[in-house]
Chain A
Amino acid sequence: DVKVTQSSRYLVKRTGEKVFLECVQDMDHENMFWYRQDPGLGLRLIYFSYDVKMKEKGDIPEGYSVSREKKERFSLILESASTNQTSMYLCASSLGAAEAFFGQGTRLTVV
């Protein structure tokens, strides 16, 4: 079974802090994605990556950056956390054009 693991299930951070969300997959998938999910807005793509050290902006990249130094690991970085970044963050991975598998999610609260 594909396993996508996010480093934290719940996280509380202060406004202005730099926040790192980590995601690791164990199936050698080349594609990795970061989404955020908010009530009424659905899943929105923040960033994605198709290869090591490669990244592409999704639909809502503002305020975020990413890092992919190894194939299995994809990190989402909030450079200076703000309250409007309080959300559920979901990491996913996929092989080629196949379905995406999701991690368990990180519920981030910025206070």
Chain B
Amino acid sequence: QKEVEQNSGPLSVPEGAIASLNCTYSDRGSQSFFWYRQYSGKSPELIMFIYSNGDKEDGRFTAQLNKASQYVSLLIRDSQPSDSATYLCAVLGYSGYSTLTFGKGTMLLVSP
């Protein structure tokens, strides 16, 4: 059974701070990793994806991947109240079919 683990939070940070969201996964054969943001009552929307070890930056967001440690993280710089949402880590495995396994999400609260 593939597992993706996230701290449920809430993670509370003040406006302007760096928010760090973490995710571990169990399937060592996983190849692709995604971060989704989900506002309350809405559907998940893709923020970033990462395939290779290291960092990938997109605006205020940085995804970090360490396949040896089976660890993925998302850093949000200069956090804004509008970043308050649940962040879902998703891992794509290749066991015959490509399906995403999601973590349960970390709730982020950014206070003004």
Contact = CB atoms under 8 A, between A and B. Distances in A.
A101 B90 CA distance: 12
A42 B105 contact: yes
Interface in B38-67: 42-46, 49
Interface stretch (A43-51, A65-73, A74-82): A43-51
Interface string A81-103: 00000000010001011011111
Contacts of A97: 31-32, 92, 94, 98
B107 to A, nearest CB: 11
Nearest to A104: B43
Contacts of A43: 44, 88, 102
B42 A105 contact: yes
A25 interface: no
Given A50-B97, A97-B31, A97-B94, A42 B102 contact: yes
Interface residues of A, number: 23
B33 to A, nearest CB: 10
A94 B105 CA distance: 21
A94 to B, nearest CB: 8
B100 interface: yes
Nearest to B103: A42
B34 interface: yes
Given A99-B34, A99-B49, A101-B46, A40 B98 contact: no
B99 interface: yes
A102 B98 contact: no
Nearest to B100: A100
A87 to B, nearest CB: 13
A88 B46 CA distance: 18
A52 to B, nearest CB: 16
Interface in B70-104: 88, 90, 92, 94, 97-104
Interface of A: 31, 33, 35, 40-43, 45, 48, 50, 56, 58, 90, 94, 96-97, 99-105
Given A42-B104, A97-B94, A97-B98, 4 more contacts: A42-B102, A58-B99, A97-B32, A100-B90
